[in-house]
Amino acid sequence: MRQVEIYDTTLRDGSQQEGISFTVTDKLKIAQKLDDLGINFIEGGWPGSNPKDTEFFQKARNLKLKNAVLVAFGSTRRIDTTVENDSGLRALVDSGAKAVNIVGKTSDRQVKQVLETTLQNNLDVIRESVAFLKARGLTVFFDAEHFFDGFKSNAAYSIKTLAAAVEGGADCLVLCDTNGGTLPSEAANIIASVQKKIKCPLGIHAHNDSELAVAVSLAAVEQGVSHIEGTINGYGERCGNANLCSIIPSLQLKLGIKCLSDRQLSRLTEVSRFVAEVANLPPMSHLPYVGSNAFLHKAGLHVSALSKWADSYQHINPDTVGNRPTVVISELSGKSNIIYKARELGIQLQPHDKQTLKILEQIKRQESLGFQYEDADASFELLIIRSQDNYKPPFELVDYMVVVERHRRTPSAYANGSQLLAEATIKVKVDNRIMHTASEGNGPVNALDYALRKGLLEFYPGLKNVDLIDYKVRILEGNSGTGSLVRVFIESSNGKVQWRTVGSSTNIIEASWLALYDSMEYFLLKIDKKGRRMA
């Protein structure tokens, strides 16, 4: 069976994305996760270029990698020195890595206008740099920078740069679409031309500036390339790099080229989200294969078909890559959506039951009032639970009142000479007992939150572990000014699980209260004493 090497550069090229700054500990964690996934080569960084990457390679010597080879990245020697005196090449040797990847110019215009040297000197630089590293027993990848653009400008010279790397002993020539402007068909044709003249394993390194990095990479493989470079989630500078989370399953499930074991492939979604978490970035929901929306179904027609045939609107089984199908509830929903979603929650509904029709009508009515259940599963589940005839809520609201006052303070105490004080008074009923409590907060929602907890803690002490971790407000009808319909999403957590609820009203306090009320009720119904979500 044909083999293709997977080379990950998340820790180096991926970290050049705006907003990403991995610590050494972060990089070590990700490297271990990539090794567990089954990646063949992990590029750890550029030792000698910055203290962080140098420290990483020192500490990475203690990693117990089972599948991957750690690679140090660098550049060909500087044009004004020899390989023996080049600090960058020496840092690669001293890194302790068994494989290195050096980038060199393969475009005549880049050589003349950026390196400001002669075309022949650049060939010497490439040959000598590769030979220096090979003489020290290292596996050497040559990243042929700007290769496709260079080939279009001066094909003969770009081929000469590859030949120089081969003369130096390079193990693999990685053709780089550095500016991300090459079409898949162009890449395939250029690779075919290279294969006629260069007898050395070829690789591909594509950037996503034209939204074609994955397509270019797959086209390269179909043309015979045996080495693919990319990053997890497509992280990288500008528009990013080729996304390995799309490339790997496409190779394995579409082209029949096995890269990982079935067990490893089933962890792809987990790895995607792990790297996003370490990078402190929200997981991208629309990523193919691994995104939370990759197998999301909203239209009632789709969900109806899905319940009869799992692959009717899915190009693969989501389990294969560790993902799962998701059905969302909206005004577009039919009975199929309600039944499917309820089944996910362990609630059995039948198509012609009055309860099912009642829930469907209520959802459509609520959505017309501004509620949205697509991203508020907890509120949706409560809607189903509350529709049951024998349902008894853990508490009931009697009434509440919120007062916001502005107190004068001395200018020295507050910059604007004033402070707002919010106070909420709540009456709740639990087991025929009415609890009347009041609390202050730094805003009306905060005060309501404190007052509600205060009234319920005597009955439900576990509420002390619940925190409101996110609060979002959206104006739905901007043409109504301050009287617009407002939707509020609240995300809550007890430190172990998270849940989202929604409220809507023309009154922002009421919308917030409805979402808050749902959050507390959901916790009391669905989270057990050990803090875990119950079925």
Tens-level pLDDT at each residue, the chain (535 residues): 678 999 999 999 999 999 999 999 999 999 999 999 999 999 999 999 999 999 999 999 999 999 999 999 999 999 999 999 999 999 999 999 999 999 999 999 999 999 999 999 999 999 999 999 999 999 999 999 999 999 999 999 999 999 999 999 999 999 999 999 999 999 999 999 999 999 999 999 999 999 999 999 999 999 999 999 999 999 999 999 999 999 999 999 999 999 999 999 999 999 999 999 899 888 888 999 999 777 665 655 555 555 565 666 678 888 999 987 766 555 445 556 666 667 766 767 766 677 777 777 777 777 777 777 767 888 888 888 888 778 889 999 999 999 988 765 544 444 444 467 889 999 999 988 999 999 998 888 889 999 998 999 989 988 888 988 888 888 776 555 556 788 899 999 988 888 999 999 988 899 999 999 999 999 998 875 555 555 4
Specify the CATH number for the domain of residue 94: 3.20.20.70
Specify the CATH number for the domain of residue 306: 1.10.238
pLDDT at 305: 54
Report how far Cα 236 is from the mean position of its chain's Cα atoms: 13
Q: Are residues 23 and 82 in the same domain?
A: yes
> Residue 112 burial (CB < 10 Å; 0-12/13-18/19+)?
middle
**Tokens linked to 200:** 């050395």
Task: Classify residue 118: in a domain, yes or no.
Answer: yes
Cα–Cα distance, 523 to 498 (Å, whole number): 10
> Residue 407 burial (CB < 10 Å; 0-12/13-18/19+)?
exposed
Task: Classify residue 518: in a domain, yes or no.
Answer: no
Task: Classify residue 54: in a domain, yes or no.
Answer: yes
Q: Are residues 404 and 382 in the same domain?
A: no
Q: Are residues 367 and 399 in the same domain?
A: no
Task: Classify residue 520: in a domain, yes or no.
Answer: no
Q: Are residues 105 and 205 in the same domain?
A: yes
DSSP 410: -
Task: Classify residue 69: in a domain, yes or no.
Answer: yes
Q: Are residues 179 and 324 in the same domain?
A: no
**Tokens linked to 154:** 């001066």
In the chain, how many domains are there? Answer: 3
Q: Are residues 451 and 337 in the same domain?
A: no
pLDDT at 275: 96
Task: Classify residue 83: in a domain, yes or no.
Answer: yes
What's the domain range around 67? 5-260
Domain stops at, among 386, 414, 445: 386
Task: Classify residue 357: in a domain, yes or no.
Answer: yes
- Amino acid found at 437: T
Q: Are residues 168 and 300 in the same domain?
A: no
Sequence-ordered list of residues with C-beta below 8 angstroms from that of 79, at least 6 positions apart, any chain: 115, 117, 121, 122, 125
Q: Are residues 248 and 167 in the same domain?
A: yes
pLDDT at 300: 53
Domain stops at, among 367, 386, 405: 386
Q: What is the DSSP string of 292-342?
A: TTTTEE-SHHHHHHHHH-TTTT-SS-GGGGT---EE--STT--HHHHHHHH
Three-class secondary structure assignment of 203-265:
EEEEECCCCCHHHHHHHHHHCCCCEEEEEHHHCCCCCCECEHHHHHHHHHHHCCCCCCCHHHH
Tally of residues, the chain: 535
Q: What is the DSSP string of 161-177?
A: HHHHHHHHT-SEEEEEE
CB count within 10 Å of CB 298 equals 16
Q: Are residues 405 and 343 in the same domain?
A: no
Q: How many CA atoms lie within 13 A of 425 on its CB side?
A: 4
Cα–Cα distance, 293 to 326 (Å, whole number): 7
Domain stops at, among 459, 477, 510: 459
Q: Are residues 236 and 362 in the same domain?
A: no
Q: Are residues 417 and 378 in the same domain?
A: no
Q: Are residues 308 and 355 in the same domain?
A: yes
Pairing of strands 498-505, 486-493: antiparallel
Task: Classify residue 521: in a domain, yes or no.
Answer: no
Cα–Cα distance, 530 to 535 (Å, whole number): 14
Cα–Cα distance, 234 to 423 (Å, whole number): 48
Specify the CATH number for the domain of residue 406: 3.30.160
